[in-house]
Amino acid sequence: MSTRILLTAALASYAGAWLLQVADFRGGGAARRPPSGVLAIGAVCLHSAALLAFWFTYGTPPLSGFGPASAFLAFALATGFLLASRSRERWSAGLLVLPMVIALLAASLVAGLAPTLADPRLQGPWLVAHVLLVFGGCASLLLASVAAAMYLFQFRALKRKDFGKVFRFFPSLESLDRMNRIGLAGGLSALAIGLLAGWSLSLTFGRGLALGDSDVAFGLLTWVVYAAALGARRGTRGFGPRPARVSVAACVASGVGFVALRVLGPATEFFL
């Protein structure tokens, strides 16, 4: 019960921080870190407390089952956003990031928070390392796509010489370029290592690498489409509208692939 209460409080705090950012955007000014920053940091603290409460309640980290995994991915995304927004002008990225966090957290509350790991042998440091790396990689790649989407909006505003709300609220093209580059490179590296750790875990228990497994297929799909996004950057020797569109398309493809695998694929024994 305490886990659900803490997650609900975190959800309300994230929503409050986002509404403050919406108010700043509609006001036509720059994104103000306080008080939305205070609410966002408080939400992350509540979120982490909820995940710890889950661990103490069930004796296992919140890594298995759609509900716990969604809550953990939301935490990874929110934490990544706070780290990325150490640069004050990137705080406005919360306008797009926080709705993702809110949606993931709401989905976890609706789906339920009980763990569903079928094989207790799969608990341990390898599983934790595998899931932390995969979730960290996915969060980093999502942030890269957010930066790409904001780049397209800002580029369009500059091209039209429209120095209105978007121009004043969104970060500079250079800052968004850097955020996308770091997000893609860091996310792809973490995801690749996480998938290899998961493969090692599977081999340990005689499972092998099953490409038909929904989680394996999703991980490989995500890595491939975002590798294409990184390749698009290098193909143009930097950033620009075309690589930005590829980064956004990678996010859409990964999301569609996840939904399709969840609906059509077999039940998984891993964290998703």
Cβ-Cβ contacts under 8 Å for 168 (sequence gap 6 or more): 28, 29, 30
The DSSP element (H or E) to which 2 belongs, if any, is helix 2-27
Is the full-model pTM beyond 0.95? Answer: no
Per-residue tokens: 198:
């998961």
Q: What is the rounded CA–CA span in Å between residue 12 and residue 148?
A: 27
CA distance linking residue 173 with residue 175, whole number of Å: 5
- Sequential pLDDT tens for the chain (272 residues): 588 999 999 999 999 999 999 998 888 666 677 788 899 999 999 999 999 999 888 888 887 788 888 999 999 999 999 998 877 778 889 999 999 999 999 999 998 887 765 455 556 677 778 788 989 999 999 999 999 999 999 999 888 887 778 888 888 899 999 999 999 999 999 999 988 887 776 666 555 555 446 777 888 889 999 999 999 888 666 678 889 999 999 999 999 988 887 777 655 444 44
DSSP letters for 189-219: HHHHHHHHHHHHHHHHTT----TTSHHHHHH
Residue 192 tokens, joined:
């690749």
Per-domain residue ranges for the chain? Answer: 1-116, 118-272
